[in-house]
Structure 1
Amino acid sequence: ANIMKLSDGLFLKCARAVSEGYKPIRYQEQIVDAACMRLVTQPESFDVLLLENLYGDIVSDLCAGLVGGLGLVPGANYGDKGAIFEAVHGTAPDIAGKGVANPIAMILSSAMMLDYLGHRAAGEKIRAATASVLRAGKVLTRDIGGKASTGEVTAAIVKAMSRG
């Protein structure tokens, strides 16, 4: 709230008020640029980040870069009455239909959805198969150093699921 005093100030006021109802959870504020530096140098110091949409978009991209790129990061938005699961990168319209998108973020998002729906074992099966394909390093999309298409990576994960 050091720059955008009204909007960020309102966000902080609301966050502080809600945190009062959850005393066992440590609440801490940090300016977004300092938080980004700490995410890069000490990522283990964070457990949960609560951010406004603009900062959330920026920070989620930064964090995705730390783990291999946007094509690997699942996303979820949880509400009181439901949830939405999607890849952090969104729809990627510039590469839609070209068969070059990394499907892993969306596949892992579906695993999170299964967890949410109470099918944790199915979600874990997807995560394990995805991890095995990544570890093998033979069927990867261009964004993570391979030459495989979206369909080829998806097929490799499905095949790994049938083995596991």
Structure 2
Amino acid sequence: MAGDTRDTALSPAQISVIAAYARGLRTAQVCATLDMSQRAVRSHILRAARRAQVSGRPLGGLVHHCYKHQLFDADTYPDLAIRATAPPPALRLQNRPRLVLGCMAEGLSLNATAQELGISKASVMTYRRRVFAAFGSRELPRVVAIGWQWGHLPARPATQTPAVKPMHTSEATT
């Protein structure tokens, strides 16, 4: 089993790059902050995504992975620590935006999120906009980090059944 852990463990350099993205930095800012070339930053992200088995656009999924596996310890990354208090009113989310945030953190596409939650693609887009606006960021890794910090993630149940009643089905009236 020790081999399994070594193969999936992220290096400290990879974690520091992911933490920079979780703070809302863009690639050029990450390079300047960590004194790395753009090629080195991309390499760390691609290798971390491969190790963490995150596919697609990996930044949000890697931030989610780091929180899920407690890789952002409070001593090294105090600004990324999970808060013990309730979120302020501006950062509170209703159920559906919270579920959409969970899907975003797991890297689901708009169509996959709509199918998973049983809502329309337009509704998913609306909820995504609301989450980004509420958290004051346009960067997915930062939004995922804020979601974890304030207790909105993990938001999706482990089962494959939709967590909410689909909106597009019509109820039979008697």
TM-score normalised by length of structure 2: 0.31
Task: Pick 1 or 2: higher relative contact order, CA cutoff 8 A, min separation 6.
Answer: 2
Q: Which has the larger radius of gyration?
A: 1
